[in-house]
Chain A
Amino acid sequence: MSAVTFPILTVAIFLPLVGAGVVALIPQGRASLVRPVGLLFTVAELAVAGTIVAEFKANDAGFQFISQHAWLGQFGIGWKVGVDGISLFLVAITAVLFPVAMFGPKVVGDAKSFFAWMLLLEAALVGTFLAMDLFLFFVLFEVTLVPGYFLIAGWGGLRRNYAAMKFFIYTFAGSAFLFVGILALVFLVAPLNGGRETFDLITLARYASHLPTSDQELIFAAMAVAFAVKMPVVPFHTWMPDAYTEAPTAGSMILAGLLFKLGTYGILRFGVFLLPKAAIDLAPVLLTLGAVGIVYGAVVAAVQKDLKRLIAYGSVADVGFIVLGAFAFTNQGISGSVFEMVNHGLTTGALFFLVGMILERRGTLRISDLGGLQKSAPVLAGVFIVVVMAAVGLPGLNGFVGEFLVLVGTFITHRWWAVVGTSGVILSAIYLLWAYQRVFQGRPSGDNESVVDMTWREKAAMAPLLAGIVFLGIYPKPLLDRVTPAVSHLIEHVHYADPGFHIPAKGRTKIVYAVPATQNVDGGAQAPTGIQAAANNSGGNP
């Protein structure tokens, strides 16, 4: 690394935080300053994230740009942030989606507090993706709830208070298990680590697999509950349609596009990486929940009367894909899972944006009240169909790459789950295209005849999302080059922890986006010292 002593990741976390403070301090009389200042900070954050992506060394499995400071020292808690292939693009998509969400949809009500909460949420989200200290992760994971809560409660729909409260309580209750799980892990590992307690991800990963299997499984289960609520997988999903539906457009974009990646990201980064053996043992449960989610989400989405709720349930199905891929424990599966996280951010963000436009124009999202919108708003309809196609998984758009990788990866190790998952591709086509048909096609009547098309601002805000959708669909290599090494490393780590676990040879020989063995830092030959190597590797970078 070209002597990056500049703590760019810490800057990436604090920049939006400072922005939130600045926006909050703008006096009421200068309300016109709120938007430009907010824009300035999100664009600056985008530039920082862009720099991180540009400077990120591809084909490197370890954490990069690590910066570390002592914090609550007596518990071994530190400010430690780093980025690897798995988190890199989640940070990037965060930086992209925030300016779009903040400046695309119209803000109704108090813009100042809205922008301040949004910037605070951005800081917490970026921090959560970058945290390499379990305490820091948990703290930021919890902090995201507060702006999320106030965004729903302050700018949401009719039942916003109910939805906001439900959102907060569900996730908070889930976090209870995560919290105790993390603490149990720390204290059980401490004797192995010479009696020193630490919340450092790398150190914990080094020792956690030496714990008794039952302990590992219990801790993993505790973490899985929290992340399953956050994702959310069936049956922990009941808060989600309310939260997505009642949130303001920008809120839904961020909630659906980013906030709930914390669950899927968390279980990969902390569940699987720290406790691989337990993850393998409990994988059938999660795979089943994922497969059930795919079918259940799609079926329930198909019968929704409200367009926003339909997309919300569609998200349940998408989360099912992510979980399926993550717990297949194959290179393709996990890579596909990470890819799907990015995809889902783009497409769901775009879908909620589009739905928000319809709501703004028509004042309702009841599908039966809408119809024939493509006559009066052809551009809106065109963009909508492109995004729908991406969500459905049309080859050439990003959704296809992700779903393909997930299904291939799952098929290698868990054939029948993949079969069930594949049905989700068809089901998603049914509910999304049927929705498109009912909303945009047909003969417009009443207010539907005179719907204003997308404005220039909306087009400009939508452009980056569309560009991402098309680019990743046609040329996913840059992303996969950065994701796959980290994923291979994760899989090697799983192997090391559980030598009895083997990916069927058929699958291993056909790794699609494999990297050269020399760059795979701890390949199978070095397995016994694999974690050591990982730690050295990631520690040596800054």
Chain B
Amino acid sequence: MSGMLLAQSSGCQVTPGKVTGLCQAFNSLHIPVEYRTILPLLVLSIGSLVLLLVSAVMPKQSRPGLYPLLTAVISALAAGASVFQWVDIGNHGASEAIGNQILYDRFSVLFMLLISVATLFGALLSDSYLQREGLDGVEAYVLMLLASTGAMLMAASAGTIILFLGLEIMSIALYVMTAYHRRRAASGEGGLKYFILGSFSSAIFLYGAALAYGATGTTQFDEMGVFLARNTLPNDGVLLGGMALLIVGLGFKVAAVPFHFWSPDVYDAAPTPFTGYMAAVAKAAGFAGLFRVLLEGFATQQANWRPAIWLIAVLTLLVGSVMAIVQRDLKRMMAYSSISQAGYVLIGLQAASSQGTAAALFYLLTYTFIVAGTFAVIGLVQGEGEARNDLGAVRGLAKRRPGLALVMLVFLLAQAGVPFTSGFLAKFYVITAAVNRGQYALAVIGMLAAAIAAFFYLRVGLLMYSSPEVDAEGEPTDGATLAGLQPIPGFDTPALSAGPGAVAAAGSAGSAPVALLPPPVGKIRIPFTVGVTLAVCVAFTIFAGVSSPVLDFAKQATTLF
């Protein structure tokens, strides 16, 4: 085997855009850099430097809203660059670029577009939040742009090395973003947890990449695929170990069960707009990596990884939706919800077909809008200092802000998978892909998980439309005794159910229902930027739910280079 490897790697050939073989003499090597292939990355990374520069030369008390505006412009430019790339690939075809390290195909461009859009939403939503919390500053936006750069690099990576590079750039920025809320103890704690667990997962990923290299002699996905197609390994322990560790490392990023334990803490800890950003971008980038590794690198090993992904998908779906039911905190609930949503993308991955990939891409694309919108609403209702993340905060929202409640209802129904929202079609496509590959059991489990999940989505919907008045003692009608808010043994200590500072269900022992906190009072002001984001997200959620252009778009991105 080693002899053949040597034969393969002898002779370093450099043709424009393509380097083959193992090159010893790097000084003789000219690697052409095709800048257009990494245009959105360049826009974002240069943009982040520009932001830093601007902040350095601007006076201390500069105009508020300048940094978010610049960030929005930069991400819009990145989105424009992605569109240019999309057209360019249509005209000139996909290619490998920059010493074969970057894959320039529509799969990566779709993710670049997705990430740009998520960054745009992140910037628009962060502005009012950071001002409200007194955290205004350039750092948040710089970190956001850098995290997006890393995420894009992951999506465009042609091998495990670049994938790891992107993973680290993204993760380190996200660790800091999680701990960004200086005055919230939870924020720092969550950031530290994320950092420690994240570092472990990065190490695991790296070890997996090393084992995969040991087994195949390359870090490039396409070469891995070719090697595995041409050779049969008599002893594939190293290969399988590498594959498993790569799945674990990336599974951590997408918060697949059982690698999800960080996710509720981190979602709760991070400033709300960042949570929405993370839920969209980190997941998308992690899935981009998983698709690249499994469908390209280990394409011939489907018999080995598909059962593993099957199991992970089932666990993710069920644990996500069941655990979300027992949450009393909106952000933690959304964390488990987003775990369960990742399960559907895993179903698409498990199908290992272009239909499954298209479905997964559609899912991620539409979820970006849904999750941005949901966290935007949570950010508005939680009030200053994130005082109210508990379920009681949305109670009676329909009376206070009917429009906001309606918008939230659309997002909730979309996540539950109710028809005429993008969430339904996303589930439809994913389940279709699974059924088409004969995965009936997985399809049924996926749909049953949707039924379980419908429970907690609807509960929030019900709370929004229930009366905002505090119930009198023993009033058995509204939110307080809402179905399913019965106390759960071992879970419902008052502290756990209501969070700090709350006197929840004082003395409620055993059978008494857990009282929700009374809803917050006072007017909810919807800042312009948040309003615009919400409108765009709702429009997209409905549009993608009744028509097919978005899927056509996703379908064109399924051929991995």
> Which residues of A does B touch, CB under 8 Å?
71-75, 138-140, 142-143, 145-146, 149-150, 153-154, 158-162, 164-166, 168-169, 172-173, 175-177, 179-180, 183-184, 187
Contact = CB atoms under 8 A, between A and B. Distances in A.
Contact of B482 (A161, A168, A172, A175): A161
Contact of B548 (A73, A142, A177): A73
A73 B443 CA distance: 22
B443 A165 contact: no
Given A179-B447, A183-B431, A183-B432, 13 more contacts: A73-B548, A74-B548, A139-B419, A159-B476, A161-B462, A164-B462, A165-B458, A165-B462, A173-B451, A173-B452, A179-B428, A180-B443, A183-B436
Q: Is the interface of B mostly helix, strand, loop or mixed?
A: helix
Contacts of A168: 454-455, 458
Contacts of A75: 432
B462 to A, nearest CB: 6
Interface centre among A142, A162, A165 (most CB of B within 10 A): A165
A174 to B, nearest CB: 8
Contacts of B435: 180, 183-184, 187
Given A142-B419, A187-B436, A173 B462 contact: no
User: What 5 A-B pairs are tightest by C-beta distance, nearest first?
Assistant: A176-B447, A173-B451, A139-B419, A183-B435, A172-B451
6 contacts: A142-B424, A153-B462, A176-B450, A180-B431, A183-B431, A183-B436
Interface in B407-464: 413, 418-420, 424-425, 428, 431-432, 435-436, 440, 443-444, 447-448, 450-452, 454-455, 458-459, 462
Contact-residue size bin, chain B (C-beta under 8 Å from the other chain)? 35 or more
A180 B440 contact: yes
A146 B552 CA distance: 29
Interface in B519-557: 547-548, 551-552, 555
Contact of B420 (A143, A160, A162, A177): A143
Nearest to A171: B451
Nearest to A72: B548
Contact of A74 (B419, B448, B466, B552): B552
Contact of B483 (A140, A166, A172): A166
A74 B551 contact: yes
B231 interface: no
A142 B444 CA distance: 16
Contacts of B403: none
B465 A153 contact: yes
Contacts of A184: 435, 440
Given A180-B431, A180-B444, A187-B436, A169 B462 contact: no
Given A146-B413, A161-B462, A183-B443, A169 B431 contact: no
B477 interface: yes
Contact of B447 (A74, A143, A158, A180): A180
Contacts of A158: 476-477
A139 B462 contact: no
B307 interface: no
Contacts of A140: 419
A82 B418 CA distance: 24
Contacts of A145: 418
B483 A161 contact: yes
B500 interface: no
Contacts of B443: 179-180, 183
Contacts of A73: 548
